[in-house]
């Protein structure tokens, strides 16, 4: 008897091993085994039983040990993972690495969950005289009913210490429980459960309810403007799925940016929810994964890898902000979590709910072909109006000098008025750093990264020039490296410079910044959110990070400094991305009782994505966008596959790319697939590697997993011999490098 074993290594094919005689009963799909591998021993997973007769004379090595009595991964889950691997042209071993948080451990070591202290208030009111700090702690405990020491400290400064002393005095009681590593408390709990769904929410839930009850595959696209109550629909649909005895997967683009959402999920589902994301330690992730596999929870909320949650019978896949490109994993195995969710829902006979204020062209096209049903939430909760958006043509600003040229008087006046009313403003600029380019005014030379074909960005706060592609740092030059001139100018504007400008212009205002330079620092983000909520920030400056999902009722004005930044990318999705980001950032204005206004500054006021964003006309934009995509055969009207080749020697990369293209040309034209390239990538030198690409366009629904694995395997080896790496990216999102 022989079995196929996948090892968690980036190798294209499984290996065949012999089952020791007498152990045939142990050889079940999904069981971990210890196998010899070269001169090592590795842990693998049985992925198939092989018919021994087809092996011919080949000598297969023997399995050393079986590590499980029951499958570590159920055969059904394994079938899904292997279908997913085929779809993204990834080796099964790589898929296992992506899908199993702890990899394939040899021994399933017990992950001991961390514990924490929780406090409760005994019945009756404390009669001891309390200090103000103690009173705050007691009030927080009473309000929460039960609260962990870390949550307490987040609410009251030094809260945990105070609580300990109150326990000693008998005013509070304490117990120890397993720490919920995952659902950290929101600082801004909101009422839940008692809400009465709006008629639009009701209508959407009626459709999901019927689909869930029928137990078959169904896809819905939930188009709801910002603040229309989409999250509430997700939470109730999860409840519906639970009533049918099935589990839910709830995907969000970036979980670290959604502490409020986690608070809501915890308020609703308590410990019935697991959380998976990259911010957890490996042990924590493994612990969560096992709770899911063991059926201890009915919900997993997480970033893209949560789509691989090992639930026995998932009935619902929610994909929030489904248009977000964060769902495309860009390192290691490249998969689109939203598309994998749809695929898995089909395999499981489950419901998939794709929600967004700006659904992707792909999803809207699904609703047009009948592959999905469109559900709409066209109104904001509480009859709040969408903000009024005006567009300002920046081209008339050339008379102003320096950073002033990025501020129209309309924008200045609007911020001024907002502040004078005691309200808050957001300024959005999709570029971090101080200045994106340093240029010599004498000879025109700009400072480039030595590893990449891009200019370096000046980061004033850190006093460095930084490459946004390879993270190389350099000291800013005092003279031009080419001509020795002294006039090296900082050209252009990033968020740091915008903050400096705003702080100079409005001296009384408290200006804060949020971008990925700061936002990834531990605690910074939560701290900023709570400062925003308590009204300690008057002007918030930031990149996309300020656009995502926040609800700051006091923000009544949003200014977009330069809408053109995302439009200028040589990428067929650039108009769609610009529309999405403008809509999203505009949606931050006027979420409270006062109406909001938005100003979009741009150099291309006539562009359809800017006009339609200003008119809140999603469907108008999508119609124009889809017509253009169809004319050019771009997704969603065709599929694409990008082959990237890179290596240290330009001639070799070029030669390998030509060889690959040559070898592919016949089989591809037979399959009706067109080929663009080979050509240097738009950014052709990154991290000291030269880059070439070949872009393949094929019909929609083309099964890439059927044709390409066998076609590409030998070519990858050919490239490798020349010192060139080759990677296949199915339905690529990044066409630049
Ligand atoms: P979205 O996800 O579309 O941005 P949310 O679900 O977060 O919208 O809802 C926005 C706000 O409205 C939240 O504070 C939420 O609690 C509240 N809300 C949602 N549905 C209702 C409802 N039916 N009645 C009252 N408030 C609601
Ligand atoms: Zn670089």
pLDDT confidence of residue 553: 80
104 belongs to a structural domain: no
319 belongs to a structural domain: yes
pLDDT confidence of residue 578: 95
Q: Are residues 271 and 369 in the same domain?
A: yes
pLDDT confidence of residue 188: 43
As for how many domains the chain has, the answer is 6
- Report the atom number in ligand 1 closest to the C-alpha of 196: 23
Range of the domain at 459: 436-491
What is the tens place of the pLDDT at every residue in 188-237? 455 555 789 999 999 999 999 999 999 999 999 999 987 889 999 999 99
Going by C-alpha positions, the residue among 293, 297, 308, 290 that lies closest to residue 344 is 308
Do residues 314 and 344 make contact, with C-beta atoms less than 8 angstroms apart?
yes
Q: Are residues 368 and 388 in the same domain?
A: no
Beta strands (DSSP E) in 561-673 are: 597-602, 638-647
Sheet holding 15-18, edge to edge: 61-62, 15-18, 2-6, 40-50, 32-37, 65-66
Q: Are residues 602 and 513 in the same domain?
A: yes
Ligand 1 centre distance from Cα of residue 325 (Å): 24
pLDDT confidence of residue 50: 84
The CATH number for 26's domain is: 3.40.1440.60
Residue 694: enclosing H or E segment and its boundaries? strand 689-699
What is the tens place of the pLDDT at every residue in 257-303? 677 788 888 888 888 999 988 778 888 888 899 999 999 999 999 99
Instruction: Provide φ and ψ at 450, rounded to 5°.
Output: -80, -15
Q: How far apart are CA 47 and CA 29, in angstroms?
A: 5
Q: How far apart are CA 732 and CA 242, in angstroms?
A: 35
Do residues 250 and 300 make contact, with C-beta atoms less than 8 angstroms apart?
yes
The CATH number for 578's domain is: 3.40.50.300
Q: Which of 178, 207, 222 is the last residue of a domain?
A: 178
Q: Are residues 66 and 205 in the same domain?
A: no
Token representation of residue 175: 């117990």
Low-confidence residues of the chain: pLDDT under 70:
52-58, 108-115, 123-128, 178-193, 257, 383, 398-399, 549
Q: Is the CB of 376 under 6 A from ligand 1?
A: no
User: What is the secondary structure of 246-257 as a DSSP string?
Assistant: -EEEEE-S-GGG
pLDDT confidence of residue 110: 57
pLDDT confidence of residue 570: 76
Q: Are residues 289 and 404 in the same domain?
A: no
Residue 93: enclosing H or E segment and its boundaries? helix 92-99
463 belongs to a structural domain: yes
109 belongs to a structural domain: no
183 belongs to a structural domain: no
Token representation of residue 58: 């080949």
Q: 698 forms bridges with which residues in the sheet?
A: 639
Q: Is the CB of 232 under 6 A from ligand 1?
A: yes
What is the tens place of the pLDDT at every residue in 305-345? 999 999 999 999 999 999 999 999 988 889 999 999 999 99
Q: How far apart are CA 541 and CA 427, in angstroms?
A: 5
User: Which residue minimizes the CA distance to atom 8 of ligand 1?
Assistant: 229
Q: Are residues 404 and 371 in the same domain?
A: no
Q: 377 forms bridges with which residues in the sheet?
A: 224
Cα dihedral 312, 318, 323, 324 sign: negative
110 belongs to a structural domain: no
Q: Are residues 247 and 329 in the same domain?
A: yes
Q: Which of 584, 606, 629 is the last residue of a domain?
A: 629
75 belongs to a structural domain: yes
Question: In terms of residues, how long is the chain?
Answer: 737
| Ligand number with the minimum distance to the CA of 228 | 1
Q: Are residues 340 and 423 in the same domain?
A: no
The CATH number for 717's domain is: 3.30.70.260
Going by C-alpha positions, the residue among 244, 258, 246, 242 that lies closest to residue 320 is 258
Write the CB contacts of 721 (distance below 8 Å, at least 6 apart in sequence). Answer: none
Q: Is the CB of 267 under 6 A from ligand 1?
A: no
- Report the atom number in ligand 1 closest to the C-alpha of 190: 16
Q: Is the CB of 231 under 6 A from ligand 1?
A: yes
Q: Are residues 46 and 159 in the same domain?
A: no
| Ligand number with the minimum distance to the CA of 261 | 1
| Ligand 1, pocket-test mutation among 189, 229, 585, most atoms within 8 A of CB | 229
Ligand 1 centre distance from Cα of residue 136 (Å): 29
| Ligand number with the minimum distance to the CA of 267 | 1
Q: Which of 468, 491, 514 is the last residue of a domain?
A: 491
23 belongs to a structural domain: yes
Q: Are residues 552 and 686 in the same domain?
A: no
Chain centroid, CA 13 distance in Å: 29
Q: Are residues 21 and 77 in the same domain?
A: yes
Q: Are residues 141 and 239 in the same domain?
A: no
């Amino acid at each position: 008897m022989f079995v196929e074993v996948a090892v968690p290594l980036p190798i294209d094919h499984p290996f065949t091993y012999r089952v020791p005689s007498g152990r045939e009963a142990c050889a079940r799909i999904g069981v971990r085994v210890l196998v010899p591998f070269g001169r090592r021993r590795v842990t693998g997973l049985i992925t198939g039983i092989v018919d021994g007769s087809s092996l011919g004379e080949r000598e297969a090595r023997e399995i050393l040990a079986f590590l499980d009595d029951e499958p570590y991964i159920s055969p059904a889950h394994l079938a899904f993972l292997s279908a997913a691997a085929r779809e993204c042209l990834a080796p099964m071993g790589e898929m296992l690495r992506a899908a199993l948080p702890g990899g394939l451990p040899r021994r399933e070591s017990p992950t001991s969950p961390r514990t924490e202290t929780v406090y409760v208030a005994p019945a009756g009111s404390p009669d001891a005289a309390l200090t103000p700090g103690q009173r705050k702690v007691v009030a927080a405990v009473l309000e929460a009913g039960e609260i962990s020491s870390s949550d307490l400290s987040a609410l009251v400064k030094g809260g945990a210490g105070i609580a300990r002393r109150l326990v000693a005095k008998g005013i509070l009681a304490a117990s120890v429980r397993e720490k919920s590593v995952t659902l950290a408390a929101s600082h801004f709990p909101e009422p839940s459960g008692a809400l009465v769904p709006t008629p639009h929410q009701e209508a959407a839930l009626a459709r999901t309810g019927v689909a869930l009850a029928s137990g078959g595959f169904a896809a819905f696209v939930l188009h709801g403007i910002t603040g229309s109550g989409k999250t509430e629909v997700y939470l109730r649909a999860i409840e519906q799925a639970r009533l049918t005895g099935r589990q839910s997967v709830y995907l969000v683009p970036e979980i670290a940016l959604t502490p409020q959402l986690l608070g809501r999920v915890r308020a609703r589902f308590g410990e019935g929810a697991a959380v998976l994301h990259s911010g957890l330690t490996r042990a924590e992730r493994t612990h969560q994964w096992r709770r899911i596999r063991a059926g201890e929870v009915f919900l997993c909320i997480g970033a893209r890898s949560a789509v691989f949650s090992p639930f026995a019978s998932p009935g619902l896949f929610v994909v929030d902000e489904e248009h977000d490109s964060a769902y495309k994993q860009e390192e290691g195995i490249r998969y689109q979590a939203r598309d994998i969710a749809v695929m898995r829902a089909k395999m499981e006979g489950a419901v998939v709910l794709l929600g967004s204020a700006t659904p992707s062209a792909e999803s809207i096209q699904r609703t047009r072909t009948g592959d999905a049903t469109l559900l709409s939430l066209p109104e904001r909760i509480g009859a709040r109006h969408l903000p009024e958006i005006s567009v300002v043509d920046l081209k008339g600003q050339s008379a102003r000098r320096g950073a002033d040229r990025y501020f129209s008087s309309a924008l200045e006046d609007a911020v001024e008025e907002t502040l004078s009313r005691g309200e808050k403003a957001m300024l959005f600029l999709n570029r971090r750093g101080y200045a994106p380019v340093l240029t010599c005014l004498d000879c025109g030379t700009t400072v480039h990264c030595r590893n990449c074909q891009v200019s370096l960005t000046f980061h004033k706060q850190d006093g460095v020039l930084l490459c946004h592609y390879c993270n190389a740092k350099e000291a800013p030059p005092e003279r031009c490296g080419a001509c020795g001139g002294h006039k090296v100018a900082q050209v252009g504007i990033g968020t740091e410079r915008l903050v400096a400008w705003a702080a100079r212009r409005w001296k009384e205002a408290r200006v804060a910044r949020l971008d990925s330079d700061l936002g990834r620092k531990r605690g910074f983000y939560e701290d900023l959110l709570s400062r925003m909520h308590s009204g300690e920030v008057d002007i918030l400056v930031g990149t996309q990070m300020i656009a995502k999902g926040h609800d700051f009722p006091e923000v009544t004005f949003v200014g977009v400094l330069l809408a053109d930044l995302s439009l200028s990318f040589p990428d067929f999705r650039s108009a769609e991305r610009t529309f999405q980001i403008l809509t999203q950032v505009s949606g931050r204005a006027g979420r409270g009782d006062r109406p909001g206004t938005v100003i979009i500054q741009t150099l291309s006021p006539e562009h359809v994505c800017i006009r339609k964003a200003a008119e809140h006309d999603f469907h108008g934009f999508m119609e124009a966008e889809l017509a253009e995509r169809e004319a050019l055969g771009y997704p969603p009207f065709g599929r694409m596959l990008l082959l990237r080749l890179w290596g240290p020697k330009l001639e070799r990369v070029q030669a390998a790319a030509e060889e690959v293209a040559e070898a592919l040309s016949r089989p591809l034209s037979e399959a009706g697939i067109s080929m663009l390239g080979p050509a240097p990538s738009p950014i052709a030198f990154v991290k000291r590697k030269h880059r070439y690409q070949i872009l393949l366009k094929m019909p929609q629904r083309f099964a890439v997993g059927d044709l390409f694995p066998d076609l590409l395997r030998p070519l990858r080896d050919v490239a490798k011999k020349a010192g060139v790496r080759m990677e296949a990216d199915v339905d690529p999102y990044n066409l630049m490098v």
